[in-house]
Amino acid sequence: MSGAPLRTWRPAHRPEARDRRKLFDGVRDRAPPHFNQLWYIDAFAGTGFRTIKHVERRENLLEAAEPQRIEQRRGSAQIALGVKPRFDFTVFIDAKPSHAAALMDLRAKNPQRHIEVVNSDANQALRSIVEANSWASTRAVLFLDPYGMEVEWQTLEAVASTKAIDVWFLFPLSGLYLSIGLQI
């Protein structure tokens, strides 16, 4: 069985929800035909919602005034559940107990789906998932969306060793600059 190479996706900017959906939609086309299962692993899954704060805008020559407002959009976990064809198995990982509880609510609202919620450090959880599965006939998409530099190199090595997992990594460049002492 030939495995799909590990690919790291590095966007120039944080993609909007519709761009993320397009990426997820293309997954099945890019995966090799000879696999039985396609999994989605969201290692920094959040709550299923993203809260966007729009700051107040005063009236100017071109635009009317806008009050401050809070908008709720779908987060990566909800977007992934909307992908068609569906992923066969979905793993949501988040270290924060309240976020894991929100993900469990999301799982409860989708009883027909095969979803696992893991409340733990992403590195530990990912290494366990890699070790516990054979990857002979399974392919997966791993979405990494950390706040900072939480992803350990050994975790990426473990993921790469499967030759079966595509990685989409929203890489926090600010964390890299800070760690090498540069200012942005």
Q: How far is the CB of 160 from ligand SAM (least distance, A)?
A: 19
Q: How far is the CB of 133 from ligand SAM (least distance, A)?
A: 19
CA-to-CA distance for 38 and 4, rounded, in angstroms? 12
Which CB, 3 or 175, lies closer to ligand SAM? 175
Which CB, 21 or 163, lies closer to ligand SAM? 21
Which CB, 35 or 130, lies closer to ligand SAM? 130
Tell me the residue nearest to ligand SAM as measured from the CB: 75
Torsion angles phi and psi, residue 34, rounded to 5: -90, 65
Which CB, 32 or 148, lies closer to ligand SAM? 148
Pick the closest to residue 111 from 135, 136, 81, 79 (CA basis).
81
CB atoms under 10 Å from CB of 64, counted, come to 8
Q: How far is the CB of 8 from ligand SAM (least distance, A)?
A: 17
Decide the pairing of beta strands 89-93 and 115-118: parallel
- The residues that bridge with 167 in the sheet, in sequence order, are 8, 142
Q: How far is the CB of 135 from ligand SAM (least distance, A)?
A: 22
Which CB, 97 or 111, lies closer to ligand SAM? 97
Q: How far is the CB of 151 from ligand SAM (least distance, A)?
A: 8
Instruction: Specify the amino acid at residue 48.
Output: G
Q: Which residues bind ligand SAM (CB under 6 A)?
A: 44-46, 50, 75-76, 93-96, 99, 121-122, 145-147, 150
CA-to-CA distance for 87 and 179, rounded, in angstroms? 36
Is residue 63 a contact partner of residue 14, using CB atoms and an 8 Å limit?
no
